[in-house]
Chains A and B, each alone.
Chain A
Amino acid sequence: DAGVIQSPRHEVTEMGQEVTLRCKPISGHNSLFWYRQTMMRGLELLIYFNNNVPIDDSGMPEDRFSAKMPNASFSTLKIQPSEPRDSAVYFCASGRVSYNEQFFGPGTRLTVL
Chain B
Amino acid sequence: AQSVTQLDSQVPVFEEAPVELRCNYSSSVSVYLFWYVQYPNQGLQLLLKYLSGSTLVKGINGFEAEFNKSQTSFHLRKPSVHISDTAEYFCAVTANSGGSNYKLTFGKGTLLTVNP
Q: Give residues in A with beta carbon < 8 Å to B.
A: 4, 31, 33, 42-43, 45, 48, 50, 55-56, 91, 93, 95-107
Contacts and interface: CB of A to CB of B under 8 A. Distances in A.
Nearest to B50: A100
Nearest to B46: A101
Shortest 10 CB-CB contacts between residues of A and residues of B: A104-B43, A31-B101, A43-B106, A104-B44, A42-B108, A97-B101, A106-B43, A105-B43, A95-B101, A107-B43
A interface, by DSSP: helix, strand, loop or mixed? Answer: strand
B45 A104 contact: yes
Interface of B: 32, 34, 36, 41-46, 49, 51, 90, 94, 99-109
A98 B101 CA distance: 5
B18 to A, nearest CB: 26
Contacts of A102: 46, 101-102, 104
6 contacts: A42-B108, A56-B103, A95-B101, A100-B32, A101-B49, A104-B44
B43 A48 contact: no
Nearest to B96: A100
Given A97-B101, A104-B44, 13 more contacts: A42-B108, A42-B109, A48-B103, A91-B43, A93-B43, A93-B44, A95-B101, A97-B100, A100-B94, A100-B102, A102-B101, A102-B102, A104-B43
